[in-house]
Structure 1
Amino acid sequence: MLRACQSLTTFAEVLRYLKDWFQASALSDDHFLAQLNQCNRQLLDIPYEQLRGCWLPYRYEKSRGCLHWCLPQGPAVEPFQDDTIGRYRQSILNVILQPKTSLEAVLVQPVDVDLWQPCGFIFHLSRCGSTLLSGCAVQLDSVQILSESPLLTEVLLDDSLDAAQQQRLLPRLVDLQAAPFPDRPQLVIKWNAWDMLRWALIRQTFPQVPCVLLVRNPVEVLASHQKMAGRHMSGDPAMRVFDKVFDTCGMGILAFRIAVLQRLMTAMYEVLQQGPSTDIQLVDYTQLNIHTIIQLLQSWGEDIDAATCARIQQRLQLNAKFPAQAFVADVQQKHSVFDEQQTAQINRHLMPVYQALHQNESLDPGESVGERFDVFL
């Protein structure tokens, strides 16, 4: 029925088909839509395997403990999962049918299928080239991308879920978002910047997945947020469950953003302090050229032929977040955003940890991260 509906092109055709399917032809269009809207508000009890591969969960509503579902319209090609979901929800069928199920059902149901295993993770400090890297990865026909999935973020932000529940949910929610695209078996997940603060939970859940940690000169990162602030740099109170650094405590906006960025950088530093690992790579924004990107993709098990290399090279010429626009380098412009005093403040608090990340310096015996880097909070 869904396949047949998706082949129809007008609202009237879809509505007529659905009325026939539900044996409701005697109802007026308005009455039928009203009935469907009532169904859309209910929490349905549907087996995991029946949803898997057909419907895609795209939102977690904490207040009701429910998942919102839509029909996917092809794999993600947009810079962010939010953009992909926006495209999906424009389809006629997704306007009419908006099913919901409880998160609890996904948590407790037994699952008799092999869950989708990611081939690579991208962690980053934000504005470090992560969207560029994920945009290049999706040029491979075998790769699908979850780029800052709002569903995964909202589950990690729900402090009513304990770590064990989150650890059980993450693989299932990843699986449900990947399963509709079996012709793209390699899944790369780009996490949100603040998900770095849940490294231990994510790593314990997916211990074998190779990871890239992306960093950038902190002045350039903060200059980008000065132009357009990300969620974690905006003072969003919902972020406070992640870490005390997101409680602004009356700080000025620049001091707050310095503290947040420092917290993310020290979290990365702590990961590298856990010892050498062949599946964790630190990459700077300045290193993101065609050669490094191909090397990263190959480390995730991908074969890069000449045609794919050409597509990646072409993608590098475009704006990562707005692919319809050409890429224009603006590093020098970013270094002119802050005055001399502000730049000195940024460098004083952030350059030591930025340099330590690159040099992979070890802490002295008995020394804490806070002592090494003059941590704000």
Structure 2
Amino acid sequence: MPPTPLDQFRAAVLADPPAQAHLAEPQDPAIFEARALAWAAARGLSLAAADLIEGGRPDPVGMHRFLPAPVTRHDWPCRDWLPISFPAAPEPAVQWFNFAGISPNTPFFEDAVREAAGRPFNRLFRTATPLASFLGRTDLRAPSGFIFHMSRCGSTLVSQMLGAAPGHVSISEAPPLDAMIQHRFPDPEMHADALRGLVHAYGRGAEHLFVKLDSWHTRALPLLRRAFPETPWIFLYRDPVEVLVSQLRLRGVQTVPGVVPLEWFGLTAEDAHLPERAFIARILERTCGAVTEHGTDKGLLINYAQLPEALFDQILPHFGIVPDAAARDSMAMVAGRHSKAPAARFQADGEAKQREADAELRAIAAQYLAPVFNALEARRTAA
């Protein structure tokens, strides 16, 4: 079939990075349509408003990004594009959005993805790149640091502080990274190779890239160290009672049986029938236990109680970062805000969580989590 006017328009735009930036910025479908029609007309392309209708359809939660990508290319798009998903079917591929001025340094990367999903440009130009294009690359830079964590222990604060300095990109719990980590590859080296490509795609143009992983990715420490043997990393943890209280207030997905496969944690189907509190504690124990099991080469242990001062005293030196005064001020400003709701002031909640814990919860913390917490504390203080 001959190319349609929309096909011709897409091909012309994808060959012109400045045009992508110009067209990807508008959130209003009417503004996007006006820009697209004017740009096409100036180049003799017979584009009509009807050709752009898909870009303006209501889609408040961005469901279009879960459909097959309208564009496939075997090379990478320019660096304004970032990976937003890694679907395994029908063939493994990385999908991209153009972020056009949208900062990826949000409390969670998914926040930035949702904003980008609302842009009409991304409705029409979401691009898929086959997995093969992420293998065997020789132009890759490793990130400046990885952030592993127990969950609910200050990792979002650390990620936000690191991302506050000019030239820093801090990617927090990116869904494509989780999907690729959990994907079954034919061999470990191919898995590591793919991860190197994906992580590099987030840091193109950045002076420093930091990657905050999902809490359950401690279970992938051997894989990530294979992929990035020289990258320093930290593991954040907190008083188990306080983390349990936080999880009971609002369950993390990893503490809901069946969301993250039980075998990922080395658990069995029988473990899913544990009482709620015990199951959460078991997941947290396996999360922390992976750090003590696999060792802390290139790693630094940080107790939540050491934050935010530890960012300047320990984490930045560990990551090899020497910030200037302006960068330090930018990071320090973040420390006074709530990491997951930056418009709100931070308020310490450790004492409130301790008061909220009943005797049963304390007994569960002692049974499941005290041994691994004490082991982490012993290693930290010894270091």
Q: Compute the TM-score of the two structures, normalised by the length of structure 2.
A: 0.82
List per-residue Cα deviations over 1:98-123 (Å, max 9, x = no partner).
Answer: 222333x3245x53x52122111111
Within 5 A, what are the aligned runs for 1:1-377?
1-6=19-24, 10-19=28-37, 21=40, 25=46, 27=48, 29-33=49-53, 41=68, 44-48=71-75, 50-64=76-90, 65-74=92-101, 75-103=103-131, 105-108=132-135, 110-111=136-137, 114-159=139-184, 162-179=187-204, 182=205, 184-245=206-267, 247=269, 248-272=271-295, 277=297, 279-360=298-379
For structure 1, which runs of at least 5 residues remain unmatched after alignment? 362-377
Secondary structure of residue in 1 paired with 2:251 = coil
Structure 1 Cα separation of the partners of residues 267 and 248 of structure 2: 18
2:25–2:119 contact (8 Å) kept in structure 1: no
List per-residue Cα deviations over 1:225-278 (Å, max 9, x = no partner).
Answer: 111111111223443352332744311111111111111121111233x7xx4x
* More displaced stretch, 4-13 vs 117-126: 4-13
Structure 2 Cα separation of the partners of residues 266 and 281 of structure 1: 15
Aligned-CA RMSD value: 2.8
Evaluate the alpha carbon distance shift between residue 304 and residue 55 of structure 1 in structure 2; reply closer, same or farther with a 3 A threshold: closer
Evaluate the alpha carbon distance shift between residue 343 and residue 305 of structure 1 in structure 2; reply closer, same or farther with a 3 A threshold: same
Structure 1 Cα separation of the partners of residues 72 and 118 of structure 2: 25
Evaluate the alpha carbon distance shift between residue 314 and residue 99 of structure 1 in structure 2; reply closer, same or farther with a 3 A threshold: same
Evaluate the alpha carbon distance shift between residue 161 and residue 343 of structure 1 in structure 2; reply closer, same or farther with a 3 A threshold: farther
List per-residue Cα deviations over 1:59-104 (Å, max 9, x = no partner).
Answer: 112233332210023332311111121222222322332222333x
1:290–1:312 contact (8 Å) kept in structure 2: no
1:197–1:267 contact (8 Å) kept in structure 2: yes
Structure 2 Cα separation of the partners of residues 23 and 144 of structure 1: 39
Q: Compute the TM-score of the two structures, normalised by the length of structure 1.
A: 0.83
* More displaced stretch, 308-317 vs 281-290: 308-317
Evaluate the alpha carbon distance shift between residue 24 and residue 189 of structure 1 in structure 2; reply closer, same or farther with a 3 A threshold: same
Structure 2 Cα separation of the partners of residues 35 and 323 of structure 1: 31
Structure 2 Cα separation of the partners of residues 238 and 299 of structure 1: 31
1:24–1:32 contact (8 Å) kept in structure 2: no
1:43–1:101 contact (8 Å) kept in structure 2: no
Evaluate the alpha carbon distance shift between residue 242 and residue 7 of structure 1 in structure 2; reply closer, same or farther with a 3 A threshold: closer
Size of the aligned set, in residue pairs, is 348
* Identical-pair percentage: 24
1:159–1:241 contact (8 Å) kept in structure 2: no
Secondary structure of residue in 2 paired with 1:325 = strand
